[in-house]
Structure 1
Amino acid sequence: MDYSSAFAGMKVIDLSGGVAGPSCAMMLAQHGADVIKVETPHNGGDWSRILGRTYEDHSAFSLYGTLGKRSLALDLKTPEGKAILWRLVRGADVFIEGFRPGTIQRYGFGYDAVSAKEPGIIYYSISGFGQTGPLAARPAMDPVLQAFTGIVTENRGEHDNHPHRIAISLIDMFSGLLGFQAIATSLYVRREQAVKQGRFIELSLMQGGAMLSIIRLIAHHLERGTTTRTSMPNGVFNTADGQINVTMVRATDWRPFCEAIEQAQLLEDPRFATHAARGTNLDELYGVLRPMLAARSTAWLSERLTAKGIMNGRVNSYEEFLMEEQVAATGIMAWLAQPGVSEKVPMPNIPGLPPFESGTKRAHAPRLGEHTRDVLTEHGYSAAEIEALVERKVVGVG
């Protein structure tokens, strides 16, 4: 074991689909675990593979969520498929499922059943609204939980004052990290046990959304929905050649801000002289500032604001971000060749691990069923038995 492969030798059975569960299991794979991704051989496999534009067996979602795993295409609706999964469970360290509550029990692989066979297993369930309660059975994805937990209400458009979802899979990705830390700490504790004792871990996207927005939740609750503004002005402003974000933290930032943009006369304007006055007259303040900032270039504003200690950042597209000198200087991105994709894919390197390298296991996103034969062979199936399972469509091969 070393820092680059803390979970080497551990076997993870990943039955989750979408983003939250798969990204959690992906992190285990990146830290050395053998993650066997079990997905249906029908309808394209894990549904994340067909979200948005597809590249043979992949989408942008699955290129990230399957990285470093092995794919076994298996029909769990058949008795033979269930028998195969039971054989995989033997000796497994982690079992991950992301079905709607009650579904995994109907398949026969609930925690009680699995832990009876493997008492030391860490069993992790991820769902939308949780395993119990009136909404437990309701289907849910990231946008639904952004709305339900209040994040959408918080994210109102500047021009239409209408609630908007945040376009990235915010809750999914955060929940994946929460799941990873819960499993990782459980494995740490279990490693010290003379007799390995497993546990059941539950996480919902609802819980992930609550934790993600906890500071705003606290503030809105204590202030009954009318939260105190931070220093003004804040937000995105048009410039002569683009847009810039300005973030002011302290009321004392006002003077250096005015000096930076060469508008010292605003300091004497009673409408804006104090923090409270700027909050009361915020629309008027923005009405004055917007044309001033729009007449200057982004680079001019950024240089002067930075010199005065005012936090700011050019508003980039994703492609512009990837081309930033700072990104190259810090080495945070790798560019990986992937099956079915005509050009290399950008992938953030994972903190604490070596950079990704194309062609290595860690950097490979498998096709659906790519490792079916290998996994079955390792678990005692002969070549003839595997071919018979393929023939009967119990399993699929890449």
Structure 2
Amino acid sequence: MTTIKGAYDGITVLDFTQGIAGPHASMLLALHGADVIKIEPPEGDWGRALGELKGDHCAHSVAFNRGKRSIALDLKSADGIAVVKKLAAKAHVVMESFRPGVISRLGFGYEDVKKINPNVIYCSVSGFGQTGPYSKRPTVDGLIQAFSGMMVMNRMPDGTPWRQGMIAVDVTTGLYTFQALSTALMRQFRYNEGCFIDSSLMRAAAAFQGAKLMEWVLSKGNPPVLYMPAGSFKSSNGYIMLSAMRPHHFRLLFELIGRDDIANDPDLQTHENRIKNAPKIIKALNETMPTKTTEEWISILQPKDVFCERVNNYQDYLDHPHVKESGAIDWIEQDGFGRMPVANIAGLPPASEHAPQQHAPHIGEDGPDILKELGYGTADIDAMFARGGVRAPVSAVKAAD
């Protein structure tokens, strides 16, 4: 196995986050070498049950917790409190995703931790942020899609607002949080300064849609489509995505599919007129594209540089020769869960070259090792497990039963 030096080797992260957004950010730190210690309740992170469960993992918990170590604690128990205080004192980064105010009531808020670790980077991840009238309002990814305008911008042809079928805002929040933590770590490294980071799904959703927010104001609430045609159309055996932004692409597309009437239509010769007369363009494509297979159309259009692509499902993507040959996906065996595809991330070595870092921990799996590193002896650890403030690890075999 290749030995890889990580940018964050030697960095310790105390991670209280659950779900997707916070765990995604802390996982990226872990994949770059940080020792991310995942603090879970005795029953485990609620994100472990987002979808089909196999043992103590689902696909989401494997996907967003790789490379971490887990210890399961009751944060209201004397043992749990003592362990967290020791970890917080040495951590470079502390992360949490409780509803605003909860972590402070537990005694581990930013001001509490700063007293024992003045230069700590403290990151709170929440739905609406730490301040404002909605700060304590419960929310999830889909609700932020609604709140942020994303569902309106993703509306169906009949105008119905539509939710993205994946947890788009949570994943995006993880990315923005990771970049905020990365720059904060650079400041900590250069100037020995800590800070507080207020990250939220609401802000991440707005940042992701920043151009659309500007466009909405510029257009007085009626943003135009960027160009026409652009969309998916039914073929005889599936769907094909077409994009003809430039005038010569538009003309070539309709000439190649045998619709010179559209290519030469005087009402469709400018960008503005194509958008104005979009129903005529869409009608022609809906009439013509079903006459051939997606593959037949691609063989006609792509050699002439008309932008088009087959609409794939995930299996199509995983099986695609370009995906395989470019190394976009590796397959990793997760004990107790099975063989899973891992999407390789730009800037990181392929998962196959650093397989141990791809392991997602079981509930409390690393508790004994973490406690030993904190100076607890075997008898102390056994006593903690017996008292229940710290949960003993469950084997992978039992977890999968």
Would the TM-score normalized by the shorter structure come out above 0.5?
A: yes
- Distance, in Å, in 1 between the alignment partners of 2:9 and 2:176 is 21
Aligned to 1:152: 151
- Distance, in Å, in 1 between the alignment partners of 2:355 and 2:366 is 15
Aligned to 2:341: 346
Deviation at 1:359, TM superposition (A): 8.1
8 Å contact kept, 2:235–2:293: yes
- Distance, in Å, in 2 between the alignment partners of 1:251 and 1:232 is 10
Alignment of 1:58-69 (within 5 A): 58-69=57-68
Aligned to 1:32: 33
Give the RMSD, CA atoms, in angstroms: 1.6
Q: Are positions 1:177 and 2:175 aligned together?
A: yes
Deviation at 1:252, TM superposition (A): 3.9
Q: Are positions 1:92 and 2:105 aligned together?
A: no
Q: In structure 1, which of residues 269, 276, 279 is the aligned counterpart of residue 272 of structure 2?
A: 276
Alignment of 1:303-314 (within 5 A): 303-314=299-310
SS at match of 1:313: strand
SS at match of 1:321: helix
TM-score by length of 1: 0.94
Aligned to 2:9: 8
**Percent sequence identity over matched residues?**
38
Deviations 1:276-304 (A, max 9, x none): 33323322321222120111111121232
Q: In structure 1, which of residues 349, 372, 380 is the aligned counterpart of residue 367 of structure 2?
A: 372
8 Å contact kept, 1:4–1:352: no
- Distance, in Å, in 1 between the alignment partners of 2:245 and 2:273 is 16
Aligned to 1:129: 128
- Distance, in Å, in 1 between the alignment partners of 2:333 and 2:354 is 7
Deviation at 1:3, TM superposition (A): 7.5
Give the letter aligned to residue 26 of structure 1. Answer: M
TM-score by length of 2: 0.94
Alignment of 1:218-297 (within 5 A): 218-297=214-293
8 Å contact kept, 2:37–2:69: yes
Aligned to 1:331: 327
Deviation at 1:71, TM superposition (A): 0.5
- Distance, in Å, in 1 between the alignment partners of 2:358 and 2:15 is 18
Deviations 1:82-105 (A, max 9, x none): 111001112111100011000010
8 Å contact kept, 2:89–2:113: no
- Distance, in Å, in 2 between the alignment partners of 1:266 and 1:64 is 47
- Distance, in Å, in 2 between the alignment partners of 1:379 and 1:275 is 66
- Distance, in Å, in 2 between the alignment partners of 1:358 and 1:230 is 41
- Distance, in Å, in 2 between the alignment partners of 1:21 and 1:313 is 34
- Distance, in Å, in 2 between the alignment partners of 1:54 and 1:69 is 20
Q: In structure 2, which of residues 378, 384, 387 is the aligned counterpart of residue 389 of structure 1?
A: 384
- Distance, in Å, in 2 between the alignment partners of 1:36 and 1:247 is 46
Q: 4+ residue runs of structure 1 moved beyond 4 angstroms? A: none
8 Å contact kept, 2:229–2:245: no
8 Å contact kept, 1:220–1:227: yes
- Distance, in Å, in 1 between the alignment partners of 2:39 and 2:265 is 65
8 Å contact kept, 1:12–1:35: yes
Give the letter aligned to residue 23 of structure 2. Answer: P
8 Å contact kept, 2:25–2:177: yes
Name stretches of at least 5 consecutive residues in structure 2 with no aligned partner.
395-401
Give the letter aligned to residue 185 of structure 2. Answer: L
Deviation at 1:358, TM superposition (A): 8.2
Residues 209 and 350 of structure 1: CA distance in aligned 2, closer, same or farther (over 3 Å): same
Aligned to 1:192: 190
8 Å contact kept, 2:247–2:269: no
After TM superposition, the structure 1 stretch with the greater mean CA deviation from structure 2, 73-82 or 31-40, is 73-82
- Distance, in Å, in 2 between the alignment partners of 1:4 and 1:222 is 47
After TM superposition, the structure 1 stretch with the greater mean CA deviation from structure 2, 266-275 or 125-134, is 266-275
After TM superposition, the structure 1 stretch with the greater mean CA deviation from structure 2, 245-254 or 50-59, is 245-254
Name stretches of at least 5 consecutive residues in structure 1 with no aligned partner.
none
- Distance, in Å, in 1 between the alignment partners of 2:377 and 2:21 is 35
